[in-house]
Structure 1
Amino acid sequence: MEKKNVVSIEDRIPTLKQERKKKANRRLIFYLSIFFFLISIIVYLQSPLSDIRTIKVTGNAFVAEEQVLDQVDMAEGDNIWTVDKEAVSQAAASNPAIKKAEVHRRLPWTIELNITEVNHVGFVSRDDNVYPILGNGKVLTEHVQSDSMNGNAPLLAGFSEEAYLKDMAEQLSSLPESIRSLISEIHWKPNDGNKHKILLYMNDGNLVDGTIRHFADKMSVYPSIVSQLEPDKKGIVHIGVGAYFEEFGSAGEDSGNTDGTTNEN
């Protein structure tokens, strides 16, 4: 008959005591960790460690950072947790050049203000300076970053009446950027019969004769017209009731007319 190993209760007591001690130590460490973590949070919230040290403005191409910061009720030294994100966002978006603003806390002490601007559709020249114009017709004349002035949008020239400038900006806003980027300059050429008349200088060397009315719809045919021309052939693309091409130096408007239509007055 096999002899079984029997462990007496006296032998098991030291082992049980050790296990209980280990559990008690782990529980103590856990509670102490929570305690010090909470203390750390309280110290952080009540000390200058939670004060804003950096405010980053991102996404702004035309509106200067200083202008954005002047609009919002927030500054370095404020407690990062007292910042009203919604109020700051609304204050920044009150600028007509800003479409929306998002506020993010970047711990431990940074606030990031991400700006989405209203699309600019061109530039206008005033008092020997060039300023961007937005799709809503607003001309940005103050606090504009000079490094944002690039040639990716047309120059609007001769628009001495604000109403026509606004209409032109709205039409450009509806025009696909791929076509808008083809335009170098837009000149307002009003006459007695048509106050909406415009002349466009294109980056490819052609001219476009048209009107502000329904410009976005009519200008959409431009790429298809020039794609049918020989590379060395330049001239005037008329976009009116119909659309046709007139080569420079041709005898008259009827030469090169592809559909028998005449230009809109």
Structure 2
Amino acid sequence: MGKGKVVVLEERVPKLKEQRRQRANRQLVIYISLFFMLLVCVIYAQSPLSNVSVIHVEGNNHVSSEDIIELSGVTTNTSFWKVKKDEIEQRVKQHPEVKEVSVKKRIPNRIDIAVVERKRIAYILDNHSFLPILDNGKVLTHVKQAIPSDAPILIGWNEGEAIQDIASQLANTPNSILNLISEIHHTPSSSDPKHITVYMNDGIEVSATVDRFAEKIVHYPSIVRQLQPGMKGVLHLEMSTYFKPYETDEGNEKTDENER
């Protein structure tokens, strides 16, 4: 019986040696593969193949993609692995019209830059051209354009606190209402230094004050729907809200008034 055990062990020794050899070969293959993979990664990182090949900009309307890319500092000569998202976001946010920035790196070599622009809530007339006013009250003196159609025009305003006040009100006014406004004239009086005269696209004139303008002008559509078709006049939104039609050609005032 003891002799039989010796025979079995002698038969197993070659098999154990072969298994150990195969295990050692597999480990060697794994180590060599890892070495070459690491070598390829190093070569890739040091070669032009790792440079950024695509810079995609989205969310911009007034600011050009070229300007945003230039501010980002990223070019096709920039290594993808050296791109720092936080630094790009800080650089792009230096543009006065950019409110928020988000940067994403997409392997193998694409950079996505998503921006949220500040809202242009009005334009101010300046020597036959129009300067945009942002929702934070900043006037873009370096941007000039022809007659705008995407926001009201401010007339008779000087830069300062007054513009900041009306900008704050317009920033809180829905776009659907802003699109109804053509011009906003600064018409202060001794009794109301913040008085404004607003001309709507439908021919209605609005007499109001800067304070609480955003809160009151949102009711404009519902008030106008109560008027007779084609009626023109002045809608007062000061202490009380009422509509006063324009006088007729004969000088007689129309008697139909809507009061609220």
TM bin, normalised by shorter chain, reads 0.7 to 0.9
Going from structure 1 to structure 2, the CA distance change for 1:230 and 1:143 (only over 3 Å counts) comes to closer
- Aligned pair 1:109/2:109, yes or no? yes
CA distance in 2, matches of 1:172, 1:56: 32
Contact 2:227/2:258, CA 8 A, preserved across alignment:
no
> Which residue identity is paired with 1:234?
K
Map of 2:165 onto structure 1: 167
Contact 2:245/2:253, CA 8 A, preserved across alignment:
no
- Aligned pair 1:89/2:89, yes or no? yes
Please give the per-residue CA displacement for 1:79-135, whole angstroms capped at 9, x wherever unaligned.
111111111112222333211111122343332221111122122222322222111
Secondary structure of the structure 1 residue equivalent to 2:259 = coil
CA distance in 1, matches of 2:120, 2:240: 29
Map of 1:225 onto structure 2: 223
Map of 2:80 onto structure 1: 80
Q: CA deviation at 1:142?
A: 2.8
Secondary structure of the structure 2 residue equivalent to 1:41 = helix
Alignment of 1:81-230 (within 5 A): 81-142=81-142, 151-230=149-228
Secondary structure of the structure 2 residue equivalent to 1:104 = strand
In the alignment, structure 2 segments of 5+ residues that lack a partner are 1-18
Contact 1:67/1:143, CA 8 A, preserved across alignment:
no
Please give the per-residue CA displacement for 1:39-71, whole angstroms capped at 9, x wherever unaligned.
443332121111124433322222334443444
Contact 1:189/1:196, CA 8 A, preserved across alignment:
yes
> Which residue identity is paired with 1:132?
P
Q: CA deviation at 1:38?
A: 4.5
- Aligned pair 1:256/2:219, yes or no? no
Going from structure 1 to structure 2, the CA distance change for 1:112 and 1:143 (only over 3 Å counts) comes to farther
Secondary structure of the structure 2 residue equivalent to 1:77 = coil
CA distance in 1, matches of 2:26, 2:226: 81
Q: CA deviation at 1:225?
A: 0.6
Q: Percent identity?
A: 36
Secondary structure of the structure 2 residue equivalent to 1:213 = coil
CA distance in 2, matches of 1:143, 1:68: 16
TM-score (norm 2): 0.77
CA distance in 2, matches of 1:112, 1:128: 39
Q: What is the Cα-based RMSD across aligned positions, in Å?
A: 3.2
CA distance in 1, matches of 2:255, 2:217: 20
Going from structure 1 to structure 2, the CA distance change for 1:143 and 1:168 (only over 3 Å counts) comes to closer
115-124 vs 25-34, greater mean Cα deviation:
25-34
Q: CA deviation at 1:26?
A: 10
CA distance in 1, matches of 2:67, 2:193: 37
Q: CA deviation at 1:159?
A: 0.8
Number of residue pairs matched by the alignment: 240
CA distance in 1, matches of 2:253, 2:29: 94
Contact 2:246/2:254, CA 8 A, preserved across alignment:
no
